[in-house]
Copies of this chain bind each other. A is one copy, B any other.
Amino acid sequence: MTKFQITILGCGSAMPTTLHNPSSQLVDMNEKLFMIDCGEGTQLQMRKYKTRMSKLHSIFISHLHGDHVFGLPGLLSTLSLLGRTADLNLYAHQEMDLFLNPFIKYFGNQFSYKINLIPLDPHNHQLIFENNSMRVFSFPLKHRIATNGFLFEEKELPRHIKREMIDFYDIPFRQIKDIKLGADFITNDGKLIKNEILTTPSPPPRKYAYCSDTAFLPEIIPYIQNIDVLYHESTFAEADNVRAQETFHSTARQAAEIAKAANVKKLIIGHFSSRYNELDKLLNEATAVFSETKLATEGMIINL
């Protein structure tokens, strides 16, 4: 299987602590790095965890709060110092240009590459990126300002053709591609061999979703149904439920309820409030509802 790997660079929230960095993570799909959010210090975290800046393909920003974007000026500058020439697509709310344009004007007018701001629709489920092997969707979350969740999914892979069937029916090379895509085979003496005899199904496409920051929002369930891994914010413990509601954040239990209702395989919780030194409580509250829960931590790697 090709690589489909998440690296957590930061899973803290707005107030910095010595325990957690602000939000950022990398989705490595087949040696291309897709960054989600870019809090202050993200480029330093990339260095720390030895992720290669040359592999950075594009950046997806969930929303325009400082703890999700203040690492952009430094990272974008460093990419130029490194001599990047390929365009960089930055997916974010349209208002990103209010922050980005003055920065580019002053600091980036001699950048070695071009930054394309691609505005996200804050209201609708939307395909925002596609290549040969994958798709990225965005969908609305519910926070104090417009916020998007993201789904990264593999495209369906061709079926595996059985080696012994190629030999047994002497299947010509030129027909193999079609058979992998589902075609039947007709032998020289006119006999039809059904595709299911010749092939085995490919593994189901893997899917990863990022939902941060957001209040409890069951409306997202259709977009993340049955996925392999869900990263969902859980800023607060249940005891601070009122604060969660006021600030449009989720509790650990709420994150777990979303994971359970969406029938995901694994849940990673993150975006922890600085008020908690110990996160066991959050983990316990989540696992009580959905056992396959893990706490995010800086440097954590999740292979799908």
Contact = CB atoms under 8 A, between A and B. Distances in A.
A122 interface: no
A70 B74 contact: yes
Copies in the complex: 2
A interface, size bucket = 20 to 34
A173 interface: no
A74 B101 CA distance: 18
Contact of A105 (B73, B98, B103): B98
Interface of A, secondary structure class, is helix
B95 A99 contact: no
Contacts of A239: none
Contact of A98 (B21, B48, B102): B102
Nearest to A96: B106
B40 A16 contact: no
A43 B66 contact: no
A61 to B, nearest CB: 13
Nearest to A95: B106
Contacts of A66: 73-74, 77, 107
A149 interface: no
Contacts of A101: 102
A16 B74 contact: yes
A144 to B, nearest CB: 11
Given A16-B47, A16-B74, 14 more contacts: A14-B81, A16-B43, A16-B78, A17-B47, A18-B44, A40-B41, A41-B44, A64-B106, A66-B77, A98-B102, A99-B102, A99-B106, A99-B107, A101-B102
Given A98-B102, A99-B103, A107-B66, A81 B15 contact: yes
Interface string A84-105: 0000000000010011011101
A71 interface: yes
Contacts of A73: 40, 66, 70, 73
Interface in A9-58: 14-18, 21-22, 40-41, 43-44, 47-48
A208 B97 CA distance: 41
Contacts of A21: 44
Contacts of A74: 16, 22, 40, 66-67, 70
17 contacts: A14-B78, A14-B81, A15-B78, A15-B81, A16-B44, A17-B47, A18-B44, A18-B47, A21-B44, A40-B73, A41-B44, A64-B106, A64-B107, A66-B73, A66-B77, A70-B77, A95-B106
A84 to B, nearest CB: 13
A71 B103 contact: no
Contact of A18 (B16, B22, B48, B98): B48
Nearest to A65: B107
